[in-house]
Structure 1
């Protein structure tokens, strides 16, 4: 059941209150799921049922995305601040050092939590932050184009496009290798989520100078990369392995940038292995 929780975080202006929406299901060791920029917690729906059979799964809408309100004025969307927000979220739920899995921006945030030893394990699927400058510019320009396109379409047109295979390809072909497998309702909902994401520009601006350069010692790390990732090219996974030499690097054959929909069984297995 989707829920919302409020809590306070430190900021340059002092303690500030904010709210975060999340979906929670299952029982077992806690597993926190973090989506990418412009997406919402429903990115994880294809694997939620499998994961919930053995884990207490908490899929969160990051601040300014999905149903979560934006951060309070003056609170930055940088890596350390959003990492602290997620720490406060876990504390508010009474979760001590969960396992964490993230995709894209969520993968970068998962690694940040691992670097701070706030989690038991990290699984990062196509995490941001391992790009060259040219690769970062390409990814950011692609994301801006996706956002501009979503905002140019009316909700009625988005719904209409989502009803055809060609329309689903046009709306989500950048992030899925197999967009035809995504349901029309899910494609429409995630396009609307991108269209209305209040934290999009601030998050993208904060990511302009981000490079993940530190090892993540004492925390098991799995890095998965889709062989058909068109947004963050898979060679970035090799860089990630060099920076985090103890990480397990997993190839996700036939998967795109958001692999949970392209091969739910494989991705769920990778997440369960990484959090075991």
Structure 2
């Protein structure tokens, strides 16, 4: 069974991969802009969004292998790929495998210290428990700009700009994602490594100035580890920055793919 996904536009294929607990709709603020230049496929990873858990392992590497299988299911070869957070790490692993034409990673996981990784894991687990615990009042909170700001600031720097119904859908699917716990635990075994193996693929790393989950200082570590990549700061943006500044993000993703030319 193929992964749940949406497909828009025409041109060279560009596959979008979300982060842990998220879904394809996290990319919605930039989809139409990207679809003017690309055949865009935004996917739900197995066990997230509306994709069933299909037995894919929880590691970043296992998920990268599953995404390659999705390429075959969708009838595309050597697409461009962009990913956010865990999806950013998957994008870099796809580049390592030589399975993509270019890779753009937005706040990718894997450039952490052990302490920063534990902070990420514990923050995500706590947020999920909190959201599940306040489920009866969650719709009212997330439909309010003030409520979105209180609940989502660690992930989105300008939560009041998010669509309330989209935010509610995101948080509802986060609390229900069957793959969440195993994927979060698997972070303990993942750190980005062997940068030279990506040398044949154009790589862009973009990081928000206000990332409160994979802390912004990690982008300097990524710059040292991947000196041959294109490194782009995202002013005024948080960890999942697509609603923070859709125009900027669409431009970064577009230029990341065009760098393969």
Please indicate, yes or no, whether the TM-score normalized by the shorter chain is above 0.5.
yes
Deviation at 1:124, TM superposition (A): 0.3
**What does the per-residue CA deviation read over 1:129-186, in whole Å, with 9 as the maximum and x for residues that have no partner?**
00011111111111011110121122x4211111212211122111000000001101
Q: Which is richer in strand?
A: 1
**What does the per-residue CA deviation read over 1:179-210, in whole Å, with 9 as the maximum and x for residues that have no partner?**
00001101111110111111000101111121
- Other-structure match for 1:43: 26
- Separation in 2, partners of 1:149, 1:56: 37
- Other-structure match for 1:256: 238
Structure 1 gaps, min length 5: 1-5, 7-18
Given the alignment of the two structures, is residue 177 of structure 1 paired with residue 160 of structure 2, yes or no?
Answer: no
Given the alignment of the two structures, is residue 94 of structure 1 paired with residue 75 of structure 2, yes or no?
Answer: yes
- Other-structure match for 1:83: 64
- Other-structure match for 2:46: 63
Corresponding residue to 1:115 among 96, 111, 124 = 96
- Separation in 1, partners of 2:48, 2:138: 18
- Other-structure match for 2:206: 224
Q: What is the Cα-based RMSD across aligned positions, in Å? A: 1.0
- Separation in 1, partners of 2:92, 2:153: 26
Structure 2 gaps, min length 5: none
- Does the 8 Å CA contact 2:117/2:187 hold for their aligned counterparts? no
- Does the 8 Å CA contact 1:63/1:70 hold for their aligned counterparts? yes
Deviation at 1:107, TM superposition (A): 0.2
- Separation in 1, partners of 2:118, 2:29: 30
Given the alignment of the two structures, is residue 149 of structure 1 paired with residue 116 of structure 2, yes or no?
Answer: no
TM-score calculated relative to the size of structure 1: 0.91
Question: What is the number of equivalent residue pairs in this alignment?
Answer: 256
TM-score calculated relative to the size of structure 2: 0.96
